[in-house]
Chain A
Amino acid sequence: MQKMPKRYYALFTLPTIIAFLLSFFIPFLLGIYLSFTKFTTVTDSQWVGFSNYIRAFSEDQNFLNAMIFTIKFALVSVVLINVFAFSLAVLLTRKIKGTNLFRTVFFMPNLIGGIVLGYIWQLIINGILINFGVDITYSANYGFWGLVVLMNWQMTGYMMVIYIAGIQGISPELIEAAKIDGANSWQVLKGVIIPMVMPAVTICTFLTVSNSFKLFDQNLALTAGAPARASSMLALDIFNTFYGRNGYEGVGQAKAVVFFLFVAIIVLLQLRLTRNQEVEN
C-alpha cells in the first residue's frame, strides 16, 4: 500500500487540480485581465489601462468609505471574537459537567447561512430599536454594531472549537510543572497556555480577519448598505459597482483586484507576525 500513492498520486489529485484551475485560478487571471479593460459581458472587452483603477477611487467616495468601514469592522471583530472564543475555550476545557453540551450549543450558530442570519438579526435589532422610535437604517452605527454582534454570534463557536483543540494539545506535564513551581491560574494562563496555543491563534486570527473582510451575505441581509451605502462593506460595494450601471464593470473588477491585494497583504503580515510568536515543540 505504500508504493501505490507515489505512482498514482498525480492521477488522484488531477480532478481537484482541474476543479481548482477552472473555478478559481482561471477566473482569477481573467479578472485581473478584465480589470484593465472596458467590457459589458465577459466576452467583449477593450483595453483601457489603469483608468479603471483611477476611477474606482476618484469618481466617488464609496470605495474608500467602504474600505474604512470594513477596516474598523475587522479590527473590532477580530479582537472581540478571539477574546470571547479563547475565554470560552479556557472555561470549557475544565472538568465540569456539560462541557460537550455547551460546546455544541456555542458552535451551532456557525451552521446557519449568512442571509438567513442577517435577516433574523435585522428583525431582532429592529424589535429592540423600535422602542426608541428608530430602526437599523437610521444610522450607519447601528448597522456597524449590528454586524459586529452578528459576526461574533456566528464565529465565536467556530473559533472556540479551534482553541479547544489547541488547549487540549498542551501536554499536562507542562501545566503541572508550572503549578509545582508555584504559578497561580493567571500565571499558568499567561506563561504556559497562551504561548503553547499560538498556532491556534494564528489560524483563528487568519480566519477572522479574512472572514471579516470578505463579509457579504450578512451585510446584504442586515442593512444592504442603508442608509445610502453608509454601512456598505467592500464586497457589497464591489457588487453594486459591477451591476449598478452600465460601463462600470471594469471599475468593479478593478476594485475587486485592489480588494484582493489589500486583504492578501494584511493576511500575510498577520501570519508572519503570529508565526513568529509560536513556540517550537
Chain B
Amino acid sequence: MSKKLFNMISIVLIAVFVLAACAAPTAVPATQAPATAATVAATTAAPSATTGGEVYYLNFKPEIADVYTKIAAEYLKETGVTLKVVTAASGTYEQTLKSEMAKSDAPVLFQINGPVGYAAWKDYCLDLKNTDLYKHLTDKSLAVTSGDGVYGIPYAIEGYGIIYNNAIMTKYFALSGAKATSMDQINNFATLKAVVEDMTAKKAQLGIKGVFSSTSLKTGEDWRWQTHLANLPIFYELKDESYDLSKGTPSEITFKYADNFKNIFDLYLNNSVTGSKLLGSKSVDDSMAEFALGESAMVQNGEWAWSQIKGVTGNTVKEQDVKFLPIYTGVTGEEKQSISVGTENFFAINSKATPEKQKLAENFIYWLYSSDAGKKFVVSDLGFIAPFDTFSDTEKPTDPLSKEVLRYSSNTNLYNVAWDFTVFPSQTFKNDFGGVLLQYAQGNKTWADVTKLVVDEWKTEAANATK
C-alpha cells in the first residue's frame, strides 16, 4: 500500500511541476528574457481584464527604457490603461520585433525606421492619417507615407554633426600661427582640414592625444560611418538628381561624391587619438569617453550622445563648451550647409491588432505628446525634440546638444542635410560597408575597393529588397 501511495504522490508531483511550468507567462521568449526582462514595466502585473485595457509597446531606445516605467505608472493613474513596454537590446530591434509579431499577444505599438522599415512591415502598419497625433505634426512631409496613407509618425527629431569642445578650440585659436581665429571661420572642408592638421601638429601644447576621437569600426559600432557619414555623399547625389525620397530606395547609385567621403574619413583616421590599424576593436563608448575625458577635441555623433558624455567618470567637458559643427566634405557651396537633422524613429500601430487595442495605442501616443504630464516626460526625461505643435517654444529639451540642434534647424541661412540614409537598401549593406571601411583603415583594401563594394552592393541589395 505504501509503495502505491509513494508512486501516486510522485506522479502527482511531476504532473504539478509540468503544469506549473506550462502555466507560466510566456510573454517574452526565454532566449530574449535576459535582454528584456529587466525592462518590462512594473504595471504588467495588473490584470488586463480591467476596464482599462493594455497597450503593448516595443521600445527601440535602450537608453531611456527606465523612463517608461514612470510613464506607465502615470498613464495608469490618469487613464486606467496599462502600458506594457518591452525594450529590445541595442541592435536587436528588428529581430525582437520579428519574434514578438509572430505571437498572439503581439505589440500594438512599435516603431519603423523609415521607408525601408515600412516596406518590411507594411502588412502590419495601420493608416494613421486620421489620428489626433498626426493632425498635430508640424511638418507633414516628415511622416512615412505611401499613396494617401500615413504609416509612420516621427516621434523625435534628432541631429548629428561634429561635436567639438569649445574650450580646446579657444585654446588653439590663441596659439601663434593658428590657421583660424574663431569657429565662424571654419565653414568649409579646406579650412577644417588646415585647422585639424595644425592642431595635430600642436597636440602636445593643447594637451590632447588627438583631434578626433577614435573612428570606432568594431562590428555593430560602425554606424556613425556606414550610416551617418555615408549619408552626406548620398544626400548630395540624390539632391543632384532631385530624387523623391518617398519612392523608396533608388535601384542604384554612382557614389559620385565618394572622394568627398574619403576627404573627411581620411581626416578622421589620420588625426585621431588611435592609430588607424587598431580601430576594429573600438566602440562608440570608447570614442565618447575619449571626448569626455578631454583626450580629443572633436567627435562625430548626435545630440543623443550628451547623456553619454555627461555620464563618463572624470568628465572634464563643460556644458557650455559642447557645440556642433557641420560635417564639411569639400562640396561646392558647403559654407551654407548645416548639420544633419531628421528622424528615423516613427511610431507605427499594428494593423492586425483588434480595433480596441489600436484605439488605445492612438490615445497613448497622443497623451504622451499633448497632456501636461506626457509633455513633461518628453522634454525632461526622454529628451526628445518633439515635432508637434502641441509644444510651445518653452517646452523643448534643455541639454546643450539639443539646443544646438534647434539653433541650427531654425537658422534659415543654412540648408539641412536630410536623413537620406533611411532609404539605404538594408542592414546587410550597411554592415558590409562598415566592414570594408575597416579594411581600408587597416590598409588591407584600397579606396577603389570601397567604392566598388558600395556601388555593387547597393544594386544587389536594392534588387533583393523587392524580391
Which of B120, B278, B465 is in CB contact (< 8 Å) with A135? B278
Question: A4-B3, A243-B94, A245-B461 are known contacts. Are A228 and B438 too (CB-CB below 8 A)?
Answer: yes
Which of A8, A137, A223, A244 is in CB contact (< 8 Å) with B431? A244
B280 touching A245, Cβ below 8 Å? no
> Chain A contacts of B461 at CB under 8 A?
245
Which of B79-87, B95-103, B312-320, B326-334 lines the interface with chain A?
B95-103
> Chain A contacts of B277 at CB under 8 A?
133-135, 138
Question: A226-B438, A245-B427, A245-B464 are known contacts. Are A126 and B219 too (CB-CB below 8 A)?
Answer: no
The distance from the CB of B461 to the nearest CB of chain A, in whole angstroms, is 7
Closest-by-CB residue of B relative to A43 is B102
B175, CB-defined interface residue at 8 Å: no
> Chain B contacts of A245 at CB under 8 A?
426-428, 461, 464-465
The distance from the CB of A141 to the nearest CB of chain B, in whole angstroms, is 12
A122 touching B101, Cβ below 8 Å? no
Task: Find the residue from B99, B428, B444, B464 having the highest chain A CB count within 10 A.
Answer: B428
Not counting A15-B14, A248-B464, a sample of 13 additional A-B residue pairs whose C-beta atoms are within 8 angstroms of each other reads A12-B14, A15-B18, A122-B281, A134-B442, A137-B281, A138-B277, A139-B444, A227-B435, A227-B438, A228-B432, A244-B427, A245-B464, A245-B465
What are 24 inter-chain pairs, A to B, with CB distance below 8 A?
A11-B14, A12-B11, A15-B17, A130-B278, A133-B277, A133-B278, A134-B277, A135-B277, A135-B278, A137-B438, A137-B442, A138-B277, A138-B280, A224-B219, A225-B219, A226-B280, A227-B438, A227-B439, A227-B442, A228-B432, A243-B95, A243-B98, A247-B464, A247-B465
B439 touching A228, Cβ below 8 Å? yes
B47, CB-defined interface residue at 8 Å: no
The distance in angstroms between the C-alpha atoms of A244 and B425, with both chains bound, is 11
Interface of B is mostly: helix
> Chain B contacts of A42 at CB under 8 A?
102
Which of A135, A228, A243, A244 is in CB contact (< 8 Å) with B436? A228
- 1/0 per residue, CB under 8 A from A, across B90-121: the answer is 00001100110110000000000000000110
Which of B281, B439, B467 is in CB contact (< 8 Å) with A247? B467
A226 touching B7, Cβ below 8 Å? no
The distance in angstroms between the C-alpha atoms of A225 and B439, with both chains bound, is 13
> Chain A contacts of B119 at CB under 8 A?
246
Interface hits, A85-116 → B, CB 8 Å: none
A18, CB-defined interface residue at 8 Å: yes
**B residues with CB within 8 A of A:** 3, 7, 10-11, 14, 17-18, 94-95, 98-99, 101-102, 119-120, 217-220, 275, 277-281, 426-428, 431-432, 435-436, 438-439, 442, 444, 461, 464-465, 467
A147, CB-defined interface residue at 8 Å: no
* Those 10 A-B pairs whose CB atoms lie nearest each other, nearest first: A137-B280, A228-B435, A41-B102, A224-B219, A245-B426, A244-B428, A246-B120, A135-B281, A245-B428, A42-B102
The distance from the CB of B56 to the nearest CB of chain A, in whole angstroms, is 16
Task: Find the residue from B3, B119, B219, B426 having the highest chain A CB count within 10 A.
Answer: B219
The distance from the CB of A151 to the nearest CB of chain B, in whole angstroms, is 20
B427 touching A11, Cβ below 8 Å? no
A81, CB-defined interface residue at 8 Å: no
> Chain B contacts of A18 at CB under 8 A?
18
